[in-house]
Amino acid sequence: MPRVTLARIVRGVPVERTVGPRGLLTLEEAAAVLDRPIREVRKDIRTAFLPARRHEGRLVVTVAACYRFLVEEREDGEGACAALEEMRRTGQRPIPYERVRQEAGLE
């Protein structure tokens, strides 16, 4: 399982801490680990793609949850690439998102 070393400056002094899979990360730290803006991390939590919980009144994410999120994201991307390649190979054309929404009755 993954371990993460976080570095930051506290009162002008560089401080490092190593966090194991069960270690708790603030949203700012999770954003750094996931390499995305905090607003994206909040959106991923709100849509339940990234599990979070409250600890001492603050929203936190475990290192293991970040790792699983990145693995699932990579697998989804690989699956999408494989599906697109299959469509190209067979000559199928993708269906526009707007048409899918219309046919599903969402518009």
pLDDT score for 95: 82
- Ranges of residues in the chain whose predicted pLDDT is under 70: 1
pLDDT score for 93: 84
When the pLDDT of each residue in the chain is averaged and rounded to a whole number, the result is 89
Give a three-class secondary structure readout of the chain.
CCCEEEEEEECCEEEEEEECCCCEEEHHHHHHHHCCCHHHHHHHHHCCCCCCEEECCEEEEEHHHHHHHHHHHHHHHHHHHHHHHHHHHHCCCCCCHHHHHHHCCCC
pLDDT score for 39: 96
pLDDT score for 56: 92
pLDDT score for 69: 93
